[in-house]
């Protein structure tokens, strides 16, 4: 059985994309079709924060966080996405981070 991946996608606002020509949207459709979970955020919602201490490191490491939404996508004009609630996620916990700007 294939592994389900958590995929974060950094891109323009979902409301503004052209679903007929946006390659990032096409990647999202394919990832979702393969059973992966999608999460959308914009670059303006990223922040570098102090994170957890690593054992034996003696200092805390910085972590990259983003505010965004889980998202489901569909090739349907006017209804091409559905957001889950806004949340803040440590991008280091994602399996894949697509930075498509």
pLDDT tens across 32-41, in order?
999 999 999 9
pTM value? 0.86
Domain chopping of the chain, boundaries: 6-99
Tell me if 39 sits within 8 A of 6, measured CB to CB: yes
- Give, in words, the CATH class of 6-99: alpha beta
Order across the sheet with 6-10: list the strands.
81-90, 60-73, 37-53, 6-10, 96-99
pLDDT tens across 9-65, in order?
999 999 999 999 999 999 999 999 999 999 999 999 999 987 666 677 677 788 999
């Amino acid at each position: 059985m294939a592994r389900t991946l958590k995929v974060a996608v950094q891109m323009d606002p979902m409301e503004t994309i052209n679903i007929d020509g946006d390659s990032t949207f096409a990647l999202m459709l394919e990832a979702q079709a393969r059973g992966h979970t999608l999460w959308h955020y914009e670059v303006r919602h990223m922040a570098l924060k102090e994170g957890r201490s690593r054992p034996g490191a003696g200092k805390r490491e910085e972590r990259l966080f983003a505010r965004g939404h889980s998202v489901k996508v569909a090739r349907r004009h006017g209804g091409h996405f559905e957001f889950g609630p806004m949340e803040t996620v440590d991008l280091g916990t994602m399996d894949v981070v697509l930075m498509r700007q």
